[in-house]
Chain A
Amino acid sequence: EPEVTQTPSHQVTQMGQEVILRCVPISNHLYFYWYRQILGQKVEFLVSFYNNEISEKSEIFDDQFSVERPDGSNFTLKIRSTKLEDSAMYFCASTGGDTYGYTFGSGTRLTVV
């Protein structure tokens, strides 16, 4: 069964550093997403991406965040200057369209120290 792949599985970074979280969505999917889950809290929507541009973003997705699909396979989330409160599990997801379900990756646990 096709999978969404995320790397790295765990990243530790110092406050103020830039991080890039990487995702390889399912190859024939069209819509891509980032969600995050702070420990013990619910899964929160960050951003959706379609046709090489952001479709929608949440209040969490401020100027510190950016997404990119640099080639035909990767989908990245960049956090420019990490803060302690950015520590969370970040999930990438993709879907093929309106009648498709969402497939989630296994997540990247980001720890900001």
Chain B
Amino acid sequence: AQSVSQHNHHVILSEAASLELGCNYSYGGTVNLFWYVQYPGQHLQLLLKYFSGDPLVKGIKGFEAEFIKSKFSFNLRKPSVQWSDTAEYFCAVDDRRSGSARQLTFGSGTQLTVLP
């Protein structure tokens, strides 16, 4: 079964600091990769996704992520965080094994707190 690891459980940064959140997955075949954000009390919102092509993916709100196949990683980055980025961030992977239905497997999430 697919597994997704987010090693940082809670990250605290000051405004304008740079952010990098780690995500590693286990399945070595073709995958779709996602980052979702969940603001307090709200639902999951898609930040960005990778299906194929350029491994550097740009998403909304200035976020980007880089797919490194050799490292099974899809780390999320933002050069300068804002207080409004305080939220929980989930990495998710959808492996495209033939014969199996698509489903997302989520990491355990990283709580980001940005101090004003």
* Distance of A6 from chain B, by nearest CB (Å): 9
Would A43 and B44 count as touching, CB distance under 8 A?
yes
> In which size bucket is the chain B interface?
20 to 34
Would B42 and A42 count as touching, CB distance under 8 A?
no
- Residue tally, chain A, CB below 8 Å to B: 24
Would B96 and A98 count as touching, CB distance under 8 A?
yes
In the complex, residue of chain B having the shortest beta-carbon distance to the beta carbon of A97: B102
Would B106 and A43 count as touching, CB distance under 8 A?
yes
Interface residues of B in 88-116 (CB under 8 A from A): 90, 92, 94, 96, 100-109
Residues in B with CB closer than 8 Å to A99 are 51
Would A42 and B109 count as touching, CB distance under 8 A?
yes
Would A48 and B51 count as touching, CB distance under 8 A?
no
Would A56 and B100 count as touching, CB distance under 8 A?
yes
Residues in B with CB closer than 8 Å to A72 are none
Residues in A with CB closer than 8 Å to B108 are 41-42
A106 to B42 CA separation, bound complex (whole angstroms):
7
- Flag whether B61 is at the interface (Cβ < 8 A): no
Given A42-B90, A101-B34, also A48-B44 (CB < 8 A)? no
Residues in A with CB closer than 8 Å to B102 are 31, 48, 95, 98
